[in-house]
Structure 1
């Protein structure tokens, strides 16, 4: 499959990654019905006390001023596959630019093998190593340096949390397009019902998919979509609070609850016109390590797309 076809297949899929924390929160509030006010309070408490992280690389006051003025903002999404005893690497790296004046949302995906400077460490490695070396700060600084832009906020989602979320909403069913058996689970084409363990195996598989990381991203999107849909139908307050607790343990963001409210009200029109773009480059082996090499001209093109 050609690279452009792969890009088209990602149309609309990345926005589920980016907006997942906001969509789940919104879905939970809507689903709460007569309990809405207590749920809103719980959501605010979860976001501000558990999910919110202050990072040195983001000027929070400046970011708040941009959101208040409805200026274009850049949000970095890091999808982290963090397992026990591992600090985790950001396997999904996406810059979302919201442009409220024109009601546009641009989604730029950075391949995880992209060769880049680790800002703060001084080494040149794969861009997804930045989070492992220095957490959100190094990841943000390295992406800013790579693209020549300013990041205003970040959202980090731990893939391990998907397992708990799937179980919390009572399992999910996805429409699977690829058949394989990983030795523990058999995945057939068509509708597949999964608990948390099976869902995690579903999103992590790569070797049996000729599309590699691109196929895995699609499966992650399918699972997240179904979590959001099931979350919106959960009427039991105990379950809703369970989901919030899981999010508190597995989602980190520079956004506060007030920022999320501002985005949902002042920037919601940007979802109407979305454009996804995968940074283009070529694979190359350097010192026995595979890298994705992106030319300067491509970075200049991406920077212009973000800033225009």
Structure 2
């Protein structure tokens, strides 16, 4: 205890002057940390307080190290040999290093966290975020918050970003119960809400002349801003605004926020958390192009509880050789569930620096920084709540080339607020428990 050495050597005034501030700082820190989870989340998601905390930790550590050294100077024998002086200094240095290392790491994490929050969640406002929310009422009275997860497949040789992964996550703000809706990237005629300027431009859905691929769902993020810049108003990401409205209009449900992860970043994030564990039911190709006749360079073989690194997890989520978009959508949904499962607190603490570095480079979102504590608390509820999924696959009721949007909207409404009677078991869009649907069941 800083000051104890001075008291022991009879320097009571100096000892008390050091001991009292130490006890006060320790007591305040214990009180602040033990108040409640919300207080901790407020701290770790506020860059200003994080920087202040890092500065306090570094300053306190420096003062403590100085006090330890001065205490050693006070208590060491006046008559001593040179080698004992050397050993004494080495011991004090080792003591300061061992005891101070966790505090140095804490200061480092605080700085990294502040940088991450500022990079991803500052200056990111879109024109489609809710306007009636505050930190005191983060959901604006809504029973559910709907977040659009996008996997951006931009890269070398491609013009812009294609959002090949489109999953709407609808979360109950009270219980954390979640339903995920997966849409195929090649869905045509996406609908826009009637009160949107894009509905005036595309009253029968997103379609037009030329290459049909330019009017698929995965082209909206790139093409709408190019064709109609500024049509939705002030925004830091017009593509995100457009696809949020397209998904919302098609499913008949408001989309509040989006999170976009570049697929290259997906690989880095999985590596940062130490891999994910999934069940592989059929062989999944690595590379390869079915249409061009280019064979894969490797395979992920079937097997239960396989731990995949970032490279193999990326191909598990995106591999399409010898399969179709719907099989890939199933795997993507299972990969998302595996990431939620893998992101336990101890893993996040041990690998946090790498995870934050990956996230800062490849994650984009319009979730306001002020609402991060509320979302973090909701994420903790999600880990312990039921997660169900709906994947819109080709069937008698759904065809991505000409979707029946009344069917989509009816399916979404019933999945979110199930009626007294359950949907038929053979309905392809019947909500499924994510854990069961991602179980090992080889074809």
Name the counterpart of 2:314: 200
Structure 1 residue 58 displacement after superposition: 1.9
Which region of structure 1 is more displaced relative to structure 2, 270-279 or 158-167?
270-279
Asked whether 1:130 is paired with 2:220, we answer: yes
Asked whether 1:96 is paired with 2:206, we answer: no
In structure 2, the CA distance between the partners of 1:259 and 1:216, relative to structure 1 (3 Å rule), is same
Note the 1:121-200 alignment, pairs <5 A: 122=202, 123-124=206-207, 125-133=215-223, 134=225, 135-169=239-273, 174-179=278-283, 182=286, 183-190=296-303, 195-200=309-314
TM-score by length of 2: 0.50
In structure 2, the CA distance between the partners of 1:71 and 1:166, relative to structure 1 (3 Å rule), is closer
CA distance in 1, matches of 2:180, 2:416: 9
Q: Which has the higher contact order (CA 8 A, sep 6+)?
A: 1
Note the 1:6-45 alignment, pairs <5 A: 35=105, 38-45=108-115
Quick check: which one's strand share is greater? 1
Name the counterpart of 1:282: 398
In structure 2, the CA distance between the partners of 1:74 and 1:229, relative to structure 1 (3 Å rule), is closer
CA distance in 2, matches of 1:158, 1:293: 27
Conserved 8 A contact 2:179-2:416: yes
Structure 1 residue 174 displacement after superposition: 4.9
CA distance in 2, matches of 1:194, 1:102: 31
Asked whether 1:293 is paired with 2:403, we answer: yes
Asked whether 1:82 is paired with 2:154, we answer: yes
Conserved 8 A contact 2:148-2:259: yes
Name the counterpart of 2:347: 233
Conserved 8 A contact 1:75-1:153: yes
Aligned length: 268
TM-score by length of 1: 0.69
Gaps of 5+ in 1: 1-24, 27-32, 284-289
CA shift digits 1:232-274 (9 cap, x unpaired) = 53665xx532321211111111113442311232575456243
User: 1:265 aligned to 356, 377, 384, which one?
Assistant: 377
Conserved 8 A contact 2:186-2:217: yes
CA shift digits 1:93-127 (9 cap, x unpaired) = 22222223465323222333332147376342322
Could you list the runs of 4 or more consecutive aligned residues of structure 1 that deviate by over 6 angstroms after TM superposition?
A: none
Q: Which is greater in Rg?
A: 2
Secondary structure at the counterpart of residue 162 of structure 1: helix
In structure 2, the CA distance between the partners of 1:108 and 1:226, relative to structure 1 (3 Å rule), is closer
Secondary structure at the counterpart of residue 291 of structure 1: coil
Gaps of 5+ in 2: 1-43, 46-101, 193-197, 208-214, 226-238, 287-295, 419-443
Root mean square deviation, CA, Å: 3.8
Conserved 8 A contact 1:70-1:100: no
Structure 1 residue 303 displacement after superposition: 4.4
CA shift digits 1:147-177 (9 cap, x unpaired) = 3432221111211112223444566665433
CA distance in 2, matches of 1:106, 1:197: 28
CA distance in 1, matches of 2:365, 2:244: 12
Secondary structure at the counterpart of residue 282 of structure 1: coil
